[in-house]
Structure 1
């Protein structure tokens, strides 16, 4: 297992670790700050350095074992030997944009009432697909609500429940196409707003900002029909549409 440092502190941009295994399929470390592709959020990129060597991490993916993370090096890069002490450095600007966007999609779940059927996070644009049989929502109204929630500077935190507690609370699941990250015995919940009365609480293993104000102003890039009842809402940062 890899200790997932980003679960407790998504703001760690650097860290030290030890190589557990190194193959062309990826480097496995005893601990990491790199988020692996999952839940619609892309894997992190960055750099790994060790005595006498350095390589770019081109992608981060989940391994076969639970909580095993594989750091995919750029093609042709040298591999550090198992047992090597390494230094990790994220492409922080890219990661932070993913954090802002991921949290913004949670706000979109608040602003639009409907089951989420899919989604994807990007550094520039992100989307959620909603099951909305009555038609697409009003773009101006959704934009206004998103930015109201951003301006409200709501705190964001996490908590944990057991797999059994998660199974007893299906109402917490908003995304129909993505199963909650169960299997390790506990599930991480992301909370927006007052801890005693959050405005949003759902299972999520991704990285998020600490306060909605950190997201910045948002804009609706487009709303598309993707089927009889499926509506795709694409958001971006205001001024970047």
Structure 2
């Protein structure tokens, strides 16, 4: 099973690793900083041994990296894993803004159901099953999220169950939430947050999240 260094230090953008297996264009590593799509957070972009990664996907506890055809890598090769740091850091900021918005929505509207989420480089979104407009809630939500960001609170992240790779983030005095994403160290890194309400369909509400 690959060692997920992106959990130990999500701020690393370069790492030496060893190719664990090769199957045509799919490879695995002994350790990695290259995050694969999970929980709505998009995959990193980057390269392994100077070979561009086309896709990164989770299979159980393993991560499969698909490279372009004709790559020269073979098992046992020592390689450098590099990610697009500016993209990663923006995803981390949007991800945590999304986490705060979701937690605050749950508090404001107990029982509301989240039915989807996506964290991309430009913006994040959360979809809810809800029959009323969330527009009236947005000004308060935006003020609350930005207040938490301005307080520059410490964010901790660790395993709740190492065997099953279950993880969480926590802010003392605010919340502890299960999550396997890559997290910031402090809320001040989020920056200014803006929210927008959309209606993606009957009985559904969407909150779009952007950071400056």
TM-score by length of 2: 0.88
SS for the counterpart of 2:146 is: helix
Aligned residues: 206
Residue 109 of structure 1: how far off its partner (Å): 1.4
8 A Cα contact 1:48 1:56, kept in partner: yes
Residue 2 of structure 1: how far off its partner (Å): 0.6
* 1:229–1:200 distance in 2 versus 1, CA, 3 Å: farther
8 A Cα contact 1:112 1:137, kept in partner: no
* Whole-angstrom distance in 1 between the partners of 2:147 and 2:53: 37
**Partner in structure 2 of residue 151 of structure 1:** 150
8 A Cα contact 2:25 2:69, kept in partner: no
* Whole-angstrom distance in 2 between the partners of 1:211 and 1:185: 26
* Whole-angstrom distance in 1 between the partners of 2:149 and 2:92: 14
Q: Which moved more, 1:78-87 or 1:127-136?
A: 127-136
* Whole-angstrom distance in 1 between the partners of 2:135 and 2:94: 20
TM-score by length of 1: 0.79
**Partner in structure 2 of residue 84 of structure 1:** 77
SS for the counterpart of 1:226 is: strand
Q: For 1:142-175, what per-residue CA distance to the aligned partner results, in whole angstroms no more than 9, with x for missing partners? A: 2222211111111111233349xxxxxxxxxxxx
8 A Cα contact 1:17 1:86, kept in partner: yes
8 A Cα contact 1:55 1:77, kept in partner: no
* Whole-angstrom distance in 2 between the partners of 1:10 and 1:110: 22
**Partner in structure 2 of residue 225 of structure 1:** 199
Q: Which moved more, 1:109-118 or 1:13-22?
A: 109-118
* 1:162–1:118 distance in 2 versus 1, CA, 3 Å: same
Aligned runs of 1:96-111 on 2, under 5 Å? 96-111=89-104
* Whole-angstrom distance in 1 between the partners of 2:135 and 2:176: 22
Aligned runs of 1:1-241 on 2, under 5 Å? 1-49=1-49, 54-63=50-59, 66-73=60-67, 75-113=68-106, 114-138=112-136, 139-162=138-161, 184-191=163-170, 193-194=171-172, 197=173, 199-220=174-195, 222-238=196-212
Question: What runs of 5+ residues in structure 1 fail to find an aligned partner?
Answer: 164-183
* Whole-angstrom distance in 2 between the partners of 1:142 and 1:216: 15
* Whole-angstrom distance in 1 between the partners of 2:41 and 2:167: 16
Aligned-residue Cα RMSD (Å) equals 1.9
Question: What runs of 5+ residues in structure 2 fail to find an aligned partner?
Answer: 107-111
8 A Cα contact 1:23 1:79, kept in partner: no
